Structure 1
Amino acid sequence: MKFSSTSSYVATEDLAVAVNAAVTLQRPLLVKGEPGTGKTELARQVAGSLAMPLIEWHVKSTTRAQQGLYEYDAVSRLRDSQLGDARVHDVKNYIRKGKLWQAFEAPGRVVLLIDEIDKADIEFPNDLLQELDRMEFHVYETGETVRAQHRPVVIITSNNEKELPDAFLRRCFFHYIRFPDLETMRAIVAVHFPDLKEQLLTAALTQFYELREVPGLKKKPSTSEVLDWLKLLLAEDLSAEDLRRDGRTLLPRLHGALLKNEQDVHLFERLAFMARRQG
């Protein structure tokens, strides 16, 4: 099976090619792009499209690579030994399997999502090099080696907050999700709001792309945010006429769905003030 757009996800041709190339090469797919461009959702759609279970590992700043393999709960074992619990005689009772272990021992091929890898420490990717390359790791407490029964489809996302090591990048197939152009955005909106009136869609997307191009904007609104905005416009039963902005403000209606910090709101207020003065 080949991955392509689904009924709920619009994949551009180059993105579909990247996914299928990574699957063929059996290499991790490293996906970068602006927040809100559908990187995490891609893994879910790939799993659904290829009829594979999905295992999600959401990385945080405190996440260690070892947690993806397994964790040994020595504290619980010590407590049980003091209580005379018979479980202490088998160390396996205190091994917690991580997401990689779960993916490796799955009875069939799965999709493994390692989400936002750039949130973790810089050494995090390096610590997973061998495990992702060889698809095996050693459990020192039990002396066993865990090998993947079926090589999982690994999708790794990054928001580009940190540079990833060259040795790690060399082992991945890379794809950058560009921000959707107007035609692609129309296709994305059609998936979520098939009954949206053409006039409202045109007016809303025109404002949206104009807003993204304003110089000095700290955080450009993303795909997920424009979908939230359109949902609000429909809930308020607004028309294309209602979206027209007067000279008093350049802010779009319900701008809280698009602008997410006070600096950007103040930027539009200053621009409106300057426009009034010039007028």
Structure 2
Amino acid sequence: MRFTGTDSYIATPDLMVAVNAAVSLQRPLLVKGEPGTGKTVLAHEIAAALGRPLIPWHIKSTTKAQQGLYEYDAVARLRDGQLGDARVHDIRNYIKRGKLWDAFTAETPPVLLIDEIDKADIEFPNDLLLELDRMEFHVYETGETIAAKVRPVVVITSNNEKELPDAFLRRCFFHYIRFPDRETMERIVAVHFPDIRNELVREAMALFYEIRDVPGLKKKPSTSELLDWLKLLMIDEIPPEVLKQRDPAKLIPPLHGALLKNEQDVHLFERLAFLNRRERH
């Protein structure tokens, strides 16, 4: 099967090519892009489109690569030994399987999502090089080797908080999700809000892209934030005419908390509105 997007996920042609190329090459798909552009959701949609289970591994700053393989709880075994628990005679009782172990041994080859890999320590990607390349690893405590019979589809997301090592990048198929143009964004909105008024979408989109183009904006609003904003506009029944008014003295849009996510950007719009009022007087 080839990935062509789903009913709930609009995939651009270049994204379809990237996904299918990674699947064909049996290489991890490394996806970068602005926060809120659907990188994480992509893995869910690939799994749905290919009819495979999804195994998500959400990375934190404290996550270690070994946790993706397995963890051996020596402390628990020592404690049980002191208590005379019979479980201590089988070391497997103290080995916790990680996400890669689950992915390698799944009955149906899954989609493995390694989400926000750049949050972890800089050595994290290097520590997974061999396992992702060979699709196997050794369990030293039991002497067994865990190997994937069929390679899972691996999707790795990054927000570019840290540079990834070249050796790791060489083993991936890379794709950058560009921010959607207006035509693509209209298709995305139509999927989420099929009954929304065309006039409201038109005026909201015009204002949304104007906001993204404001110089000095610390955080540009993303696709997910546009969808949240549209939902609020419909709930509060904000008429399109309110968005259509381009009063320079009122630059901050209604319900702007869905779009502007820090005080610096709100203050920027307040300053612009103040300057425009002064110029008019």
TM-score under structure 1 length normalisation: 0.99
Q: Which residue of 2 aligns with 1:118?
A: 118
- Name the CA distance, whole Å, in 1 between partners of 2:272 and 2:180: 26
1:242: Cα distance to partner? 2.0
1:176: Cα distance to partner? 0.1
- 2:214 is the alignment partner of 1:214: yes
Q: Which residue of 2 aligns with 1:259?
A: 260
**Aligned AA for 1:268?**
F
- Name the CA distance, whole Å, in 1 between partners of 2:17 and 2:248: 46
Contact 1:92 1:142 in 2 (8 A): yes
Contact 1:118 1:163 in 2 (8 A): yes
Partner SS for 1:249: coil
**Aligned AA for 2:168?**
F
Structure 1 portions without partners, runs of 5+ = none
Deviations 1:210-265 (A, max 9, x none): 00000000000000000000000000111111222534320011000000000000
Q: Which residue of 1 aligns with 2:79?
A: 79
Q: Which residue of 2 aligns with 1:192?
A: 192
- Name the CA distance, whole Å, in 2 between partners of 1:51 and 1:58: 21
Q: Which residue of 2 aligns with 1:90?
A: 90
Q: Say which is worse superposed, 125-134 or 191-200, in terms of deviation.
A: 191-200
Q: Which runs of 4+ in 1 moved over 4 A?
A: none
Contact 1:55 1:113 in 2 (8 A): yes
Contact 1:245 1:251 in 2 (8 A): no
Aligned counterparts, 1:206-245, within 5 A: 206-243=206-243, 244-245=245-246
Partner SS for 1:251: coil
Give the aligned CA root-mean-square deviation in angstroms: 0.7
- Name the CA distance, whole Å, in 2 between partners of 1:85 and 1:78: 10
Contact 1:106 1:149 in 2 (8 A): no
Deviations 1:118-152 (A, max 9, x none): 00000000000000000000001111110012210
Deviations 1:12-64 (A, max 9, x none): 00001100000000000000000000000000000000000000000000000
Partner SS for 1:196: coil
TM-score under structure 2 length normalisation: 0.98
Partner SS for 2:75: helix
Q: Which residue of 2 aligns with 1:29?
A: 29
- Name the CA distance, whole Å, in 1 between partners of 2:261 and 2:34: 15
1:196: Cα distance to partner? 1.2
Q: Which residue of 2 aligns with 1:273?
A: 274
Deviations 1:52-96 (A, max 9, x none): 000000000000000000000011101100100000011000000
Partner SS for 2:112: strand
Q: Which residue of 2 aligns with 1:153?
A: 153
Partner SS for 2:265: helix
Partner SS for 1:216: coil
Structure 2 portions without partners, runs of 5+ = none
Q: Which residue of 2 aligns with 1:249?
A: 250
**Aligned AA for 1:106?**
A
- Name the CA distance, whole Å, in 2 between partners of 1:10 and 1:164: 28
- Name the CA distance, whole Å, in 1 between partners of 2:5 and 2:144: 41
**Aligned AA for 2:275?**
M
Percent identity, aligned pairs only? 75
1:107: Cα distance to partner? 1.1
